[in-house]
Amino acid sequence: MGSFRGQLALAAVVVSAAVGASAAWASPLRVLIKDSPNKTQSNRTRATINGIVIHDTEGRFIGSVRVLQRAWTRGSAHFVVSRRGQIVQLVPVTDVAWHAGNAWWNLHSIGIEHEGWVGRRAYTEKEYRASAQLVAYLAHRWSIPLDRGHVIGHAEVPNPYRPGFFGGASGHSDPGPYWKWAHYMQLVRYYAAHPVLPKFVKRMTVLPDAPVPHAQLVTRAVVPVRHVVRRSTVDRNATVHGKALWWSGVTAATQWRRHIWKVDFLVDGKTIYTDHTWPYSFHRTIGWDSSSVGNGRHMLAVRTYGAHHYRTRKSVPVRVANPPLRVRITGAVSGGAVDGLLNIGARTNEPVERLALYVDGKPVSRDASPPYRLLWDTRTAVEGAHTMLVYARGKHGTHRAALTVPVVVANAPTFPPALARNWLTRRGLGDMLGRFDPEQ
Ligand SMILES: [Zn+2]
């Protein structure tokens, strides 16, 4: 059902957009719509889809399409492109295909397989062009930026279990060193400027597989691109900070065998999130806010519920290391003189529940929303030395910070003899500038 809906939606867009299409293309791109059971029915939108992952089939076109259509493969891709430049769609773009070996990337990307091999110089110009036309169209349709941070190879997909490793969970290296990225991205940008609208068809003559070139020795290592955003991931003994991605570890195979219907996520023994949809991740793409607990060791756990009373509990010890809460103020400096109604601006490096100003240990002012302002009428205080303390409390109460600022209240036009030092008040500064005008 989901696939039918998705394809219809896609077809509708093509029809409405076709009016503005360039008529110069005699043989427009055609995409043969097929089906694969290897998908997660979803309702993805422009907001959900964020990238495109390039793969190779490691096999001939027709055979590969068939393999990806079999349930036991538990793998799929949205599209498969042949060396002859033909394209088959197996999963509607609105659904999740299982291709990246990384739940986050599966949820947020479109997977495109290319007939080819990591170790063979096999990609053809027809294949590059058909794929580039398709990608240019998809990028426009789903608002995907056309750069190498959003159009990446499977080899560049982060390994969800091993930070710093790539190629998804199983360390794939496709599309390999023979995939000409610069050439491909140039074509993609060309077709973005000269769009070719694909025609989605139910029937198409699939040409027999092109002859396959011999294997070559791979000598170059695949170097992952650097600008792929790395986020912390909840994993056994991992060090996490900020919002960390946290996947249940329930694979498609387990889901299928055990009929998992619920997954609880626990932090230090308390269930704080429950997910009912595969692949079961903590707040999906947002992740777990590690600043909700203090820095140090914490015991996270995942509890899985399946059919026939199937239950598992997996503990995931992690170390949380977030930067400490910091407060900065304007309007007063340590050791400086203050007078009149003091208006102190405060900034913090993370959202806080509230900020409070204490003078000599007594509360004077507080603010709960940015931009933070703290007020103190110094005219109510005796002349002389006082201690201001700005106190901040983090959103979850786990982070606190206190900033001590010694000041001298100097409201009287002349300092008391006890303070006969070179304190400079704002009023004093004004007087001084008035008396010694540098222009004169
Ligand atoms: Zn792949």
pLDDT digit string, tens, across residues 60-96 = 999 999 999 998 888 999 999 999 999 999 999 999 9
Domains with residue ranges and CATH for the chain: 2-201 (3.40.80.10), 238-320 (2.60.40.10), 327-435 (2.60.40.10)
What's the pLDDT score for residue 12? 39
What's the pLDDT score for residue 134? 97
Q: Does the structure show a pLDDT above 90 at 440?
A: no
User: Residue 222 — pLDDT band, cuts 50, 70, 90?
Assistant: very low
Instruction: Determine contact, residues 224/163, Cβ cutoff 8 Å.
Output: no
User: Residue 190 — pLDDT band, cuts 50, 70, 90?
Assistant: very high
Instruction: Determine contact, residues 191/130, Cβ cutoff 8 Å.
Output: no
Distance 218 CA to ligand 1 centre (A): 17
What's the pLDDT score for residue 13? 40
132 contacts: CB under 8 Å, gap ≥ 6? 184, 187, 188, 190, 191
SS3 116: strand
Task: Kindly name the residue from 113, 115, 127, 156 that is annotated as catalytic.
Answer: 113
To the nearest whole number, what is the mean pLDDT of the chain?
83
Tens of pLDDT, residues 316-356: 999 998 888 888 898 888 878 888 899 999 998 888 888 99
What are the beta bridge partners of residue 362? 359
Residues with beta carbon < 5 A to ion ligand 1? 55, 154, 172, 174
Distance 33 CA to ligand 1 centre (A): 21
SS3 174: coil
> How much is the average pLDDT of 126-144?
95
User: Residue 415 — pLDDT band, cuts 50, 70, 90?
Assistant: low
Phi, psi for residue 39 in degrees, rounded to 5: -160, 165
Active site residue 350: no
Distance 259 CA to ligand 1 centre (A): 26
Distance 31 CA to ligand 1 centre (A): 20
What are the beta bridge partners of residue 341? 377
